[in-house]
A and B are shown apart, each in its own frame.
Chain A
Amino acid sequence: MNEQPILAVEDLQTYFFTNAGVVKAVDGISFELHKGETLGIVGESGSGKSMTAWSILRLVPEPAGRIVGGRILYQGENLLEKSQAEMQEIRGNGICMVMQDPLTSLNPVFNIGNQIIECLRMDSTPSGQSLSERAIELLAKVHIPAPRDRIAAFPHQMSGGMRQRVVGAIAISRSPNLLIADEPTTSLDATIQLQYLRLLKEIQEQTGAGIIFITHDFGIVARMCDRVAVMYAGKIVEQADVEQLFDNPAHPYTEALLQSVPNLDIDVDLLPSIEGQPPTLDDLPEGCAFAPRCAYAFDKCSEYPPEFSVEPGHGARCWRHHVNN
């Protein structure tokens, strides 16, 4: 833990300035990611998890959206002070992203070989090996059968699982230190999802890259991640090692969410469910955003809780842990 983290996000704030007012999509979040580590960012739609990823890549849709505060330290350097040209060098080279839908992230009019080579060409030091040979090698690395024949295929000729592998090949083409995967398996079938998750682990073992996994699925967190950050209404409400979080969820939202997911291995009569709806960000309650749906809410919750330490490496923003401290 003493070595410098690959990525340290400190008090990041990404706001959207709309006619209806300021929407705090990401509202003061902090986390760290080390080499070879996998961090899961879990949350529902609108919790700010994807916007966190866009912020790290400096791809927040401007001018409506702006990063208004905080620091993003990538290998010790603050990305928020970089020019767009410098960012372009970092994106793809150091930080890569795998998006949710491979059909929209691949260009339909170029064959996949061209799309991989396009990335390889940006590398300033091409080795003696020809670019297409390296593209074939990459396709083999992501377990695409018969890569030599596949290199001329177009995205529409491939299945969803294959396309996502091609996106994976592009992402690792320049050996990134940090891979951000935004729900990369939601459009895949279960058996294909398992293949893909194993592939990501394999890539991580080979390259030692840090991975940020953005997901709404606690199953993926349990299968893939070392650490977890749970987001709710733009804030990280709980952060812990993965086993700590599943053994001892400290925030009522995490606890309720874990209980409300059906379990494959046991029969239950009635699942405990969370009442109410996730809040909309332009109309947040004062204080803790989860309080209106929380079974434990009390007077103190009208004030926003700071992060309390529950155990070493495990923090939660909930007043219930104030009493214990």
Chain B
Amino acid sequence: MSTTDSMESSTELVRLEGVKKYFPVTKGLVIQHTVGMVKAMDGISFAIPEGQTYSIVGESGCGKTTTSRIVLMAEPPTEGQVYFQGRPMERFSAAEQRAFRASVQAVFQDPWSSLNPRMRVGSIISEPLTTHQRLTKQEMKAQVNELLEVVGLHPFHAQRYPHEFSGGQRQRIAIARALSTRPKLIVLDEPVSALDVSIRAQILNLLKELQQTYSLSYLLIAHNLATVRYMSHEIGVMYLGKIVEEARPDELFTNPLHPYTKALISASLPAHPRQQREEIVLAGEVPSPLNPPSGCAFHTRCPFVMDHCSKEIPEYREVEQGHRVACHLYTDRGVLSPASTTL
């Protein structure tokens, strides 16, 4: 079950439309003047349907984390709109905002720094509840116990401190805390990359199971493509503040179109020593987002670069159903047809 067709009709929970987020770069100690803009997000649009996982992959500095902060409403967009359940976040009333904060939660990469070492696990998990709900002590305790059991821990763990747990167990505590307000969306920022290899599958399976039980939506930020394939319903590939390709996992991995996606897949490590991957070695490193290349931002490293790539920004368009790409190879002006670029 790659969980695609059955949920085609499901409703959208979050939608980003042309979201831009620029951070000014300033110089000067006393009199500050702006010397440039880091375009962390440069016109991002995507939607997360209810009960599904949308993943963003890309290298460091591509704007993945900024995107998650925009969705969490931790940061207002410079331009563009973010809709939650069809309502623009910009125009949320105070009550709506409070409801939003309860229905969106996050689980971070490092469970050593995301849990307060001076709080008992029970207080860590119930803290969001005290903010969002009025419960008696008894009700609170019952809720905490239930949450601990849901994530595979025991009620007696509520009395302990984070340092008494291993990495995998801490991540379970972080998940329990995220679940406490009965959220609709959880932002997962590299949820397993800090964990031991033998623990990762446990946590991924727990997240999948919880998604089914509570029909949760996930926004997954990750760099490991195999993890992303395992978890996602739809994947967006980001490069320097833009989504360059978007498709369902089976489509993206069997028929990658953008040269950057191809390079990312080819750079991922083999599952068996006899497995030979055609390795596309990209020249150089990701350019600075402070001064991104003209035209298609990828043209400086692209093995298929053409003359007009440095001049014109490629249009982001749907080339097959549900498969969007921004690359001149697939526009009318493209010299090569998609088939002749298969690697």
Name B269's contact: one of A161, A222, A278 (CB within 8 Å): A222
Pair A271/B196 contact, Cβ less than 8 Å: no
A217 to chain B, nearest CB (A): 7
Find chain B residues with CB under 8 A from A192 CB. Answer: 59, 285
A239 to chain B, nearest CB (A): 15
Taken together as a complex, chains A and B put the C-alpha atoms of A45 and B264 apart, in Å, by 27
Find chain A residues with CB under 8 A from B142 CB. Answer: none
Given A262-B227, A271-B230, A243 and B60 touching (CB < 8 A)? Answer: no
Q: Mark A51-95, 1 if CB is under 8 A from B, else 0.
A: 000000000000000000000000000000000000000000000
A270: interface (CB < 8 Å): yes
Q: Kindly report which residue of chain A lies nearest to residue B60, judged by CB atoms.
A: A189
A124: interface (CB < 8 Å): no
Q: Among A17-25, A205-213, A253-261, A304-312, which stretch is in contact with chain B? A: A253-261
Given A145-B284, A195-B281, A270-B208, A190 and B223 touching (CB < 8 A)? Answer: yes
Find chain B residues with CB under 8 A from A299 CB. Answer: none
Given A216-B196, A273-B201, A267 and B269 touching (CB < 8 A)? Answer: no
A275: interface (CB < 8 Å): yes
| Residues of chain A from 211 to 248 with CB closer than 8 A to chain B in the complex | 216-223, 225, 242-243, 246
Find chain B residues with CB under 8 A from A221 CB. Answer: 273
A44: interface (CB < 8 Å): yes
Q: Mark B251-295, 1 if CB is under 8 A from A, else 0.
A: 001000000000111111111111100010110111000000000
Name A271's contact: one of B2, B201, B225, B270 (CB within 8 Å): B201
Taken together as a complex, chains A and B put the C-alpha atoms of A239 and B201 apart, in Å, by 24
Taken together as a complex, chains A and B put the C-alpha atoms of A39 and B130 apart, in Å, by 53
A193: interface (CB < 8 Å): yes
Chain B count of residues within 8 A CB distance of the other chain: 47
Given A190-B223, A195-B281, A257 and B273 touching (CB < 8 A)? Answer: no
Name B199's contact: one of A195, A218, A277 (CB within 8 Å): A277
B205: interface (CB < 8 Å): yes
Pair B226/A262 contact, Cβ less than 8 Å: yes
Taken together as a complex, chains A and B put the C-alpha atoms of A87 and B233 apart, in Å, by 55
Taken together as a complex, chains A and B put the C-alpha atoms of A225 and B282 apart, in Å, by 23
Q: Kindly report which residue of chain B lies nearest to residue A220, judged by CB atoms.
A: B269
Taken together as a complex, chains A and B put the C-alpha atoms of A14 and B223 apart, in Å, by 35
Taken together as a complex, chains A and B put the C-alpha atoms of A225 and B59 apart, in Å, by 26
Given A267-B250, A277-B168, A243 and B59 touching (CB < 8 A)? Answer: no
Pair B230/A268 contact, Cβ less than 8 Å: yes
- Most B C-beta atoms less than 10 A away, residue of A145, A190, A260, A263: A190
Pair B204/A257 contact, Cβ less than 8 Å: no
Find chain B residues with CB under 8 A from A44 CB. Answer: 196-198
Find chain A residues with CB under 8 A from B270 CB. Answer: 219, 222-223
Pair A161/B285 contact, Cβ less than 8 Å: yes
Find chain B residues with CB under 8 A from A271 CB. Answer: 201, 204-205, 230
Pair A264/B267 contact, Cβ less than 8 Å: no
Name B59's contact: one of A189, A219, A222 (CB within 8 Å): A189
Pair A191/B59 contact, Cβ less than 8 Å: yes
A117 to chain B, nearest CB (A): 25
Pair B205/A270 contact, Cβ less than 8 Å: yes
Name B201's contact: one of A219, A260, A278, A293 (CB within 8 Å): A260
Taken together as a complex, chains A and B put the C-alpha atoms of A243 and B272 apart, in Å, by 8
Pair A264/B196 contact, Cβ less than 8 Å: no
A272: interface (CB < 8 Å): yes
Q: Mark B200-216, 1 if CB is under 8 A from A, else 0.
A: 11101100100000000
A-B interface contact total, Cβ < 8 Å: 128
Q: Mark A269-301, 1 if CB is under 8 A from B, else 0.
A: 111111101100000000000000100000000
Taken together as a complex, chains A and B put the C-alpha atoms of A176 and B281 apart, in Å, by 27
Find chain B residues with CB under 8 A from A267 CB. Answer: 2, 229, 249-250
A159: interface (CB < 8 Å): yes
B24 to chain A, nearest CB (A): 22
B191 to chain A, nearest CB (A): 13
B294 to chain A, nearest CB (A): 21
Pair B229/A222 contact, Cβ less than 8 Å: no
Pair A219/B230 contact, Cβ less than 8 Å: no
A122: interface (CB < 8 Å): no
Q: Mark A149-187, 1 if CB is under 8 A from B, else 0.
A: 000000000011110000000000000000000000000
Taken together as a complex, chains A and B put the C-alpha atoms of A277 and B199 apart, in Å, by 7
Find chain A residues with CB under 8 A from B271 CB. Answer: 218-219, 222, 261, 263-265
Pair B267/A260 contact, Cβ less than 8 Å: no
Pair A277/B197 contact, Cβ less than 8 Å: no
B166: interface (CB < 8 Å): yes
Taken together as a complex, chains A and B put the C-alpha atoms of A146 and B59 apart, in Å, by 24
- Most A C-beta atoms less than 10 A away, residue of B201, B202, B267, B284: B201
Find chain A residues with CB under 8 A from B204 CB. Answer: 262, 271, 273
A198: interface (CB < 8 Å): yes
A194: interface (CB < 8 Å): yes
Name B267's contact: one of A161, A190, A272 (CB within 8 Å): A190
Find chain B residues with CB under 8 A from A191 CB. Answer: 59, 263-264, 267, 281-282
B162 to chain A, nearest CB (A): 15
B266 to chain A, nearest CB (A): 8
Q: Given contacts A189-B223, A190-B264, A191-B282, list 18 more A-B pairs with CB under 8 A.
A: A45-B196, A145-B284, A190-B268, A216-B196, A216-B197, A219-B268, A222-B270, A223-B269, A261-B197, A261-B271, A262-B201, A262-B230, A270-B205, A271-B204, A271-B230, A278-B166, A278-B198, A278-B199
Mark B residues whose CB is within 8 Å of A: 1-2, 59-60, 166-169, 196-202, 204-205, 208, 223-227, 229-230, 249-250, 253, 263-275, 279, 281-282, 284-286
User: What are 15 A-B contacts with C-beta separation under 8 Å?
Assistant: A44-B196, A44-B197, A162-B285, A190-B225, A194-B279, A221-B273, A222-B269, A222-B275, A246-B274, A260-B200, A262-B204, A264-B225, A264-B271, A278-B166, A293-B198
For the complex of A and B, 4 pairs with smallest distance between CB atoms:
A219-B269, A273-B201, A260-B201, A189-B59
